[in-house]
Amino acid sequence: MNFGTRVNLHTHTRRCKHACGTVAEYCAEAGRQGIAVLGFSEHSPFPDERHGGSRMFYRELPEYRAEVEAARNASLVPEVLAGLEVDVEPDYGFAFVEDEFLGRQRFDYLIAGVHYIPGRDPELLWTPGTVLTPEDVRRYIEAVIHLIESGLFEYVVHPDLWALCCPVWTPELTAISQDLFRAALAFGVPLEINAYGLRKPSIETPAGRRPPYPWAPFWELAGEAGVQVVVGADAHRPADVWGNTDDAVAFARRFGLEPENEKLAERIIARRGSKRS
Ligand SMILES: [Zn+2]
Ligand SMILES: [Zn+2]
């Protein structure tokens, strides 16, 4: 199978309330930008609508699923996949994720995203001026490792999101990151170099200006560890459906990392095929 080089499995739509564009609009733009495999990965909702400002309503799940299915048959993009970017919380744990998203709703794939630091104010990462402690970063990474160990996720999105609130790299961050790389390698789960972070306004730090994430020292260590990586557009508007993702590929190669998007897509597509037959 050869899907070409443009495989993006990280796409949002207007349903999440902080993105724009419908599934059909993303597919049309993906056709123009030469995307071979387009995966939709809306932020997963919770039955009690927690964190509801940044995700669809729970009742929309079947509608979203159907919207992607319709696009699969109608669009010019060779492969369209239905996924979710999932936040897991203790009272909606892995059994819920598996039964509801993979079982009942039959999504093709799930990707893991941590957007809140466990045990801390959910707004913390999103409040300008926040500086995280090493303990905060450790909690974030432990949550990511927990998701990796579940075996439910194709990859982890922006595993270095916390970099947006960390002005200076420290030896503690090296140790914490290496724990994550060990888990990613042990479970064969790729980590994502997120192109959205590269599109965001750069931040001022004592070491100079840099994109909020991905953060070079983290990926330098990832390169030394030899983890598997993917790139994700993390599109929140149709124009970004591929957009600057080549910058994320170039960023990976700086550290000797080669994105494995095509391999991942082949695996998801093969699994979907066998499920249906
Ligand atoms: Zn988003
Ligand atoms: Zn995302």
Ligand in nearest proximity to the CA of 18: 1
**Is the pLDDT score of 277 beyond 50?**
no
User: How many Cβ atoms are within 10 Å of 59's Cβ, its own excluded?
Assistant: 10
Q: What is the percent of the chain with per-residue pLDDT over 70, rounded to a whole number?
A: 97
Q: Which DSSP category does 97 fall into? A: I
* Distance from residue 277's CA to the centre of ligand 2 (Å): 31
Mean pLDDT, residues 147-156: 98
Q: Cβ(92)–Cβ(52) under 8 Å?
A: no
* Distance from residue 12's CA to the centre of ligand 1 (Å): 7
pLDDT in tens, 202-219: 999 999 999 999 999 999
pLDDT in tens, 57-88: 999 999 999 999 999 988 889 999 999 999 99
Q: Cβ(134)–Cβ(173) under 8 Å?
A: yes
Q: Which amino acid is at 256?
A: G
* Distance from residue 86's CA to the centre of ligand 2 (Å): 9
Q: How far apart are the first and last CA of the chain?
A: 19
Q: What is the pLDDT of residue 74?
A: 87
Q: What is the mean pLDDT of the chain?
A: 95
Q: What is the pLDDT of residue 3?
A: 45
Report the topology of domain 7-276.
TIM Barrel (3.20.20)
* Distance from residue 74's CA to the centre of ligand 2 (Å): 24
Tokens of 207: 């070491």
Q: What is the pLDDT of residue 276?
A: 58
Q: What is the pLDDT of residue 73?
A: 87
Q: What is the pLDDT of residue 273?
A: 78
pLDDT in tens, 240-249: 999 999 999 9
Identify the band that residue 267 occupies on the pLDDT scale cut at 50, 70 and 90.
very high
**Is the pLDDT score of 24 beyond 90?**
yes
Q: Which DSSP category does 102 fall into? A: I
Identify the band that residue 275 occupies on the pLDDT scale cut at 50, 70 and 90.
low
Q: Cβ(103)–Cβ(59) under 8 Å?
A: no
pLDDT in tens, 103-121: 999 999 999 999 999 999 9
- Mapping DSSP to helix (H, G, I), strand (E, B) and coil, where does residue 83 land? strand
Alpha-carbon gap, residue 115 to 11, rounded angstroms: 16
User: Within 13 A of 88's CA, how many CA atoms are on the CB side?
Assistant: 25
**Which of 71-75, 124-128, 147-151, 263-267 is predicted with the least confidence, judged by mean pLDDT?**
71-75
* Distance from residue 232's CA to the centre of ligand 2 (Å): 8
Instruction: Identify the CA nearest to 108 among candidates 140, 65, 52, 70.
Output: 65
Buried b (16+ CB within 10 A) or exposed e, 4-14: eebbbbbbbbb
Q: Cβ(65)–Cβ(38) under 8 Å?
A: no
Q: Which DSSP category does 99 fall into? A: I
* Distance from residue 171's CA to the centre of ligand 1 (Å): 30
Q: What is the pLDDT of residue 1?
A: 38
Q: Is the dihedral of CA 207, 211, 213, 214 positive or negative?
A: negative
Domain boundaries, the chain: 7-276
- Which residues does 170 contact at the CB level (< 8 Å), separation at least 6? 134
